[in-house]
Amino acid sequence: MREKKILQYGSLAGWPYRIARGLRKQGINSSNALVVSKDVADLDRRLPYDVAVCDIRGTRLNYIRKIPFFFGMLLECRLVHYHGTTVFESLGHHRFEGPVLRRMNIPMVISFGGGDARIVSQARANNPYFYRELDEGRDRRTRRWLSSLSKHVRYAATDCEMAEYVAPYFEKVFTFRQPVDLEEMTCRIPEEHNACPVVGHIPTHPEVKGTAQIQAAVERLKAEGLRFEFRMYRQLTQTQVHAELAKCDVYVDELRCGSHGVTAVESMASGKPTITYIREDLLSMYPADLPLVNANPDTIYPVLKRLILDGGLRAEIGKKSRAYAEKYHAVDVVVRDLLEIYRAIGYPG
């Protein structure tokens, strides 16, 4: 009989794979699986995973034929950690896999990332820079999805912003921090005396990231005669993103969401001062030593200008950023915290 495992299901920024690999390094059987390997929008970041069940070019009939395999995969688990999605998507979880796993007393927990659980009306009420217009239909669908999920998935593990949307639906919401594999990142603290620093920006969704406002600030600073190089890329693999993060002196992530994502963590792990927008009401929910440089579309110009002009500040924040990533986001730290969550929800290990 094969040893049962912890299943990390989904592909959010490659972190489910890194968690599974981190657990395996500790001698715990875990794997990362997804239905099909595909990226968001037009990107092809080549995110890592252990197994993709279906071919992206496959037909719906081939997908249906794989259903017994899906159930077999789930029944081999001691715990299922979903990352932004379930095997049977949308409202299918509570009709299919959810009842089966619950009857077998297999604990389930779900993490959220990106915009998968944001309720637009709430986000706009707390964030004047939020990128989506009010959409009552979308909000109804999101609430229906969360309600459906929580019929069998009793627990969530997510960041402080996502928690405010999902807390009404789950029995308990645990704190989860995005993992980064420090061995994959090249840490280069910015040179204090570099007279022409490199400013990087790699948007997955330009509208979400506030790319237009970033570009406007860059053009204004260049018109003023400031010496710096602005590098913006989009169609990069994740490995290429890591390489570009190592080369820059300042990284601008996003200005409109109100909480930070995985790329901000990777940038901090690379030793870079990282600009992103953290909502003021959420700041107290992060560790007190959070080194992110806070900016929104209204303040990106002065914030970026200060970092371009002050090499000592860039180096100081870069050192604090790497230390923060090591302390809170390193894979072994995240895995340790997750194991505590898993035990709290019924994992017997």
Report the CATH number at residue 118: 3.40.50.2000
Answer yes or no: is pLDDT of 53 > 90.
no
167 alpha carbon, distance to own chain's centre: 18
Per-residue confidence at 61, pLDDT binned at 50, 70, 90? low
CA distance 250 to 200: 6
How many structural domains are present in the chain? 2
Residues 167, 54 share a domain: yes
Residues 191, 46 share a domain: no
Task: Confirm whether 300 is domain-assigned.
Answer: yes
Residues 209, 271 share a domain: yes
Residues 339, 317 share a domain: no
Task: Confirm whether 136 is domain-assigned.
Answer: yes
Two tokens at 266? 């990777």
Write the pLDDT tens digit of every residue in 134-187: 999 999 999 999 999 999 999 999 999 999 999 999 999 999 999 999 999 999
Exposed, middle or buried: residue 220 (CB in 10 Å: 0-12, 13-18, 19+)? middle
Longest dimension (CA), the chain: 69
pTM score: 0.92
Torsion angle, CA of 293/298/302/303, rounded to 10 degrees? Answer: 10
94 alpha carbon, distance to own chain's centre: 25
The pLDDT value recorded for residue 75 is: 79
Task: Confirm whether 349 is domain-assigned.
Answer: no
Pairing of strands 172-175, 5-10: unpaired
Least confident among 43-47, 77-81, 329-333: 43-47
The domain containing residue 15 runs over which residues?
5-179+330-344
Task: Confirm whether 42 is domain-assigned.
Answer: yes
The pLDDT value recorded for residue 59 is: 54
Answer yes or no: is pLDDT of 42 > 70.
no
Two tokens at 269? 């792990």
Residues 141, 11 share a domain: yes
Write the pLDDT tens digit of every residue in 235-257: 788 899 999 999 999 999 999 99
The pLDDT value recorded for residue 1 is: 45
